[in-house]
Amino acid sequence: MRISIFGMGYVGIVSGACLLRDGHEISGVDPVAAKVADLAQGRSPIQEPGVARLLSEGHKDGRLRATAKTQDALTNCQMAWICVGTPSEADGGINLSAVENVTVRIARELRDSKARPLIVLRSACLPGPTADLVIPRLEKRSGLSVGKDIHLVYHPEFL
């Protein structure tokens, strides 16, 4: 399966490495040029046992790609994982701006595309923002209906 992972921090990198281990093709998406460059060479930008080997093997097999471009990542992908950071706010809430930004970028690309990947929200956030933020942004920016034209799964790494 071709899977694009948006956000190549800890959760995105480890998830991608495990998916490579299971034989999937991964496209890592991140705005940080250094991370994209590392991944494009099969190098891990984080230290975690076994991850560097899995990324290197995936790269050698041609199953690991990296990009900063949403359009490139969504071309021919079957799943789009959102794994961006959700840092804590001073008041105890969480900052969902990265989730919103990636959701809007994905939705804009889906508007003019035939691609209909399953969207998987892995970022740590409470269930409310899925219904109140992610789904409305996807539908408004893509012109598609979640549950009918496109599908979304909430599968957080941490909660």
> Can you give the pLDDT at residue 159?
54
Q: 121 has which bridge partners? A: 82, 154
Query: Side chain identity at 121, as an amino acid letter?
Result: L
pLDDT along the chain (159 residues), means of 10: 97 97 98 96 94 97 97 94 93 92 97 93 85 95 96 83
HSE (side-chain half, CA atoms, 13 Å) at 95: 10
Segments making up each domain of the chain, as ranges: 1-159
> Distances from the Cα of 41 to the Cαs of 19, 38, 67, in angstroms?
18, 5, 12
> Can you give the pLDDT at residue 80?
98
Q: Which of 149, 9, 132, 159 lies closest to 81, judged by CA?
A: 9
CB-based contact 38:75 (threshold 8 Å): no
pTM over 0.75: yes
Could you tell me which CATH number the domain at 1-159 has? 3.40.50.720
